[in-house]
A and B are shown apart, each in its own frame.
Chain A
Amino acid sequence: MKPALTSHVAPPPGGRGPFRSYAAGFILSLVLTAAAVSVVVYAGPLRLGGAAAAAAVLVLAVVQMCVQAVFFLHLLDEKGPRWNLVFFASTLSIVLIIVVGSLWIMAHLNYNMMPEQVNAYMRRQGGI
């Protein structure tokens, strides 16, 4: 017997209507977008440093991704084995490794230079 990859179960009665799900996702996304823009526009008056504001923008983006995954992509509504969600989660871990790993390596290239390169670099920079 072929294993079922996706569920064919009818939606449970009394759940949120599909329209309400999309409307909730839309409104929440609008609010989160407005919040992210406000962080950037008011970073000065709010006395937010560049790094803190960037972190806030990134957190808001991740929250909005989760909102859209739930309300637009309906990833939490799977019945049975949650294959869509499993693939999403494992792909996100690959994405994190690629992006964070690249940034980490490229930001620490100075430590990995050969000694003569380090000397040349230090001469260029006028010392450490």
Chain B
Amino acid sequence: MENIATAGEDDSLFGFWVYLMTDLVIFAVLFATFTVLRNNTFGGPSGRELFSLPSAVTETLLLLTSSFTCGLAAVAFRRGVRTRAIIWFAVTFALGAAFLARELGEFSGLAAAGAGWQRSAFLSSFFALVGAHGLHIAVGLLWMAVVMVQIWFRGLSAAVVSKAARLALFWHFLDVVWIFIFSVVYLMSRLV
């Protein structure tokens, strides 16, 4: 079966995986900050009062589905089916953009309700953690647009497939990080 992490286009895929692992350490530090500061609300609103579970579930489903369609794009570009690769990347892009739009809406809603990052240590760490993930998603979307244009104009050359494989790895990685943001930030704040 084909194999994203080790497809062997070149060693660059392994190098990119090492980069992703260093990125994981950055997220670990942000997670540690958030879990330590999650109750330091400084008299302000807590996560339980601020976060909407249906909204978080919707964001999760959008990103999870986009990770799946990104896999379908990978199936297509490995088989050399150019149109289908572009279509699935376009679907992935749309889902990712919908996710980002919802997240930005959530952020602006919080800021408008007086729960911006300057309100408390809890909110600072929340915006740092979730914002860092959202920034990665935004960069991933930009990258995806570039890859789609390159598949369209250059076809599935070895260089373009190599780039698309790294993008797919990046996108799946971001969904793995989101599992923990969803669990630790949105689900656990309703428990404790």
Q: A5-B14, A22-B68, A106-B36 are in contact. Are A11 and B175 (CB under 8 A)?
A: no
Interface string of B46-77 (1 = CB under 8 A from A): 00000001000100110011011001101100
Instruction: Give Cα distance in the complex from A66 to B171, angstroms.
Output: 16
B4 and A73 contact, CB distance less than 8 A: yes
Chain B contact-residue range equals: 35 or more
A53 and B191 contact, CB distance less than 8 A: yes
A8 and B1 contact, CB distance less than 8 A: no
A69 and B176 contact, CB distance less than 8 A: yes
Could you tell me the distance in whole angstroms from the C-beta of B166 to the nearest C-beta in chain A?
12
Measured CB to CB, the nearest residue on chain A to B2 is A18
Cβ–Cβ < 8 Å partners of B3 in chain A: 11, 74, 77-78
Instruction: Give Cα distance in the complex from A102 to B29, angstroms.
Output: 9
A94: Cβ under 8 A from any B Cβ: yes
Measured CB to CB, the nearest residue on chain A to B60 is A33
Chain A contact-residue range equals: 35 or more
B149: Cβ under 8 A from any A Cβ: no
B146: Cβ under 8 A from any A Cβ: no
B21 and A88 contact, CB distance less than 8 A: yes
Cβ–Cβ < 8 Å partners of A50 in chain B: 191-192
B173: Cβ under 8 A from any A Cβ: yes
B5 and A18 contact, CB distance less than 8 A: no
B4 and A40 contact, CB distance less than 8 A: no
**Which of A51, A73, A94 has the most chain B CB atoms inside 10 A of its CB?**
A73
Q: A19-B75, A73-B173, A87-B17 are in contact. Are A78 and B191 (CB under 8 A)?
A: no
| Given pairs A68-B176, A73-B5, A87-B17, 20 additional interface contacts (CB within 8 A) | A6-B7, A6-B8, A7-B6, A18-B1, A26-B71, A54-B191, A58-B183, A65-B176, A68-B175, A72-B4, A72-B172, A73-B4, A77-B3, A95-B28, A98-B25, A99-B28, A99-B35, A102-B33, A103-B32, A106-B36
Q: List, sorted by A's number, 8 A–B pairs whose CB atoms are closer than 8 Å.
A: A6-B11, A7-B6, A33-B60, A54-B191, A68-B175, A77-B3, A87-B21, A99-B28
